[in-house]
Structure formats: C-alpha cells, structure tokens
Amino acid sequence: MNTLVIAATVQTIEPLRYTPAGLPLLRLQLQHDSEQQEAGLNRKVQCQLPAVLIGEKAGLALQSGDKIKAKGFLAQRSAKSTQVVMHIQEIQLIQHTELKEF
C-alpha cells in the first residue's frame, strides 16, 4: 500500500505545464508542521515535500500560503531520480490566502 494523507501549507507553485500526453501538470512545494506522538513522547515534525497535481486538479486556483489537506501516493520524480514526490489525487482547501493589493 502506498497512501499518504497530509495537512500542509503551499510554499511555492511552479507555472502550469503540460505532459507529453497533453495533461496539465502543476508542481508544488509543501511545508508540513505538526506534533506527533512517538514512543510515548511528543515530537515536533517539520518537513518540505515536493508534490504534483496532474489533470483536472492542476487547474485549481492555489496560492502560496494556502493550507491544504492532500491525499495521494509517493513516487520517484523520474526513472533516473531517487527524489520522492507526492502525487496528489484528492485535495481540500483548508484556508485560502487572501491576495493583498498594494
């Protein structure tokens, strides 16, 4: 089984691209911060995780600073890479960051 569910903040969003098959692809950098229990002790957890949205969900109007809950799976970035990337299959916006005009 390879399923990941995580609450995170969108740190960066790359410009929308398209796969060779013509599917929209959006790359994100996620920041996760939480407190977890391990061996009976509280542990502060922080990590950054690269993620991708492919297909219809890549068109979501996400912004840096948005808080999301994402469900998906982990895979290598490419056949020649050992970097792990989360492929988001379900996404829920928890808190949307308001754009501020100057």
Residue range(s) defining the domain that contains residue 84:
1-24+43-60+72-102
Mind listing the pLDDT tens digit for each residue in 67-86? 999 999 999 988 888 899 99
Asked whether the predicted pLDDT for residue 34 surpasses 80, the reply is yes
Mind listing the pLDDT tens digit for each residue in 8-32? 999 999 999 999 999 999 999 999 9
Q: Is residue 38 part of a domain?
A: no
Rounded-to-integer distance, Cα 1 and Cα 58, Å? 24
Q: Is residue 82 part of a domain?
A: yes
Q: Is residue 55 part of a domain?
A: yes
Q: Is residue 35 part of a domain?
A: no
Q: Is residue 66 part of a domain?
A: no
- pTM of the full structure: 0.85
Domain count, the chain: 1
Q: Is residue 97 part of a domain?
A: yes
Domain of 100: which CATH number? 2.40.50.140
Q: Is residue 34 part of a domain?
A: no
Q: Is residue 5 part of a domain?
A: yes
